[in-house]
Structure 1
């Protein structure tokens, strides 16, 4: 245990952000990804600032979007399977440093079934929530890495 703590090892999910007074998060007004990020920051007891501060990091969500690419079709020509591509672009500004720009894509396959439209719509909502959650965790890990 002493060896692990001495080398700087931290369990995943623990963020070394407590050295800052807070974090400023800027995003579109109704961004679901921003809502998840706010929730995660607050769960780590990190204060969300209402405006940027020179001694605190800023996270700016520039864009998050979802694209669908057709992977396969039913014999009647309807889409049988999609590939969902969730793209995120963001910027992290640390105190007294230049801004760091990042972008990534997350992929999921989604099988459509027109006979079960309601169930498939719910499955798609759950998949999108999972993609946003994964994106939020990735952004927070990147913020933690830059802050360390």
Structure 2
């Protein structure tokens, strides 16, 4: 009985070591924090009550970026113009009620690097959402979770855009 687990451990250990060596040698690193060392400080501008602005500032803080209150010509600036959610009907129930929507989350922002003109960007994210009028409360909660996920993906794209510059 004890020979089988020992054999598996002896077999799995070299396989795991080989896999970690291959992943490490190709430059793979886990998602999460992105190297933003060339931007030690970024000024954020937008609606202070915006959940998108709040999430963006939290992600930048996690990446060790300072967020000064006052803008300066020496630091990059991100201006969140607007974010919006639109719904488009995809299918209907036989009684004519909407069965499925396509959610379109759009973020417009401008990125201004030091001594440069602002560059406008737009992010569009799409999700399908099935509606059920019999479960309105649960579907409202699901819609809130989908919107939070879309915001998180938009923030990740903005940070990746910063990392590419």
Which TM class, normalised by the smaller chain length?
A: 0.7 to 0.9
Structure 1 residue 120 displacement after superposition: 0.6
Q: Which of the pair is proportionally richer in helix?
A: 2
Look at both structures and tell me which one has the larger radius of gyration over its CA atoms: 2
- Superimposed CA distance per residue, residues 89-132 of structure 1 (whole angstroms, 9 cap, x where no aligned partner): 10001112221111121000000001111111111110000000
Query: Which segment drifts farther, 22-31 or 130-139?
Result: 22-31
| Corresponding residue pairs, total | 142
Q: Which of the pair is proportionally richer in strand?
A: 1
Across the aligned residues of Structure 1 and Structure 2, the Cα RMSD in angstroms comes to 1.9
TM-score with structure 1 setting the length: 0.88
Residue 53, structure 1, aligned to residue 72, structure 2:
yes
Q: 1:121 aligns with which of 137, 140, 154?
A: 140
Q: 1:37 aligns with which of 45, 56, 63?
A: 56
Supply the distance in 2 between the matched residues of 1:125 and 1:73 (Cα, whole angstroms). Answer: 22
Structure 1 residue 18 displacement after superposition: 2.2
TM-score with structure 2 setting the length: 0.79
Structure 1 residue 35 displacement after superposition: 0.6
If asked which structure has higher relative contact order (CA below 8 Å, sep 6+), I would say 1
> Does the aligned pair in 2 maintain the 1:17–1:144 contact within 8 Å?
yes
Structure 1 residue 53 displacement after superposition: 1.4
Residue 143, structure 1, aligned to residue 162, structure 2:
yes
- Superimposed CA distance per residue, residues 15-43 of structure 1 (whole angstroms, 9 cap, x where no aligned partner): 34223341100111211111100100111
Q: Which runs of 5 or more residues in structure 2 are unaligned?
A: 1-20
Report the equivalent of 1:20: 39
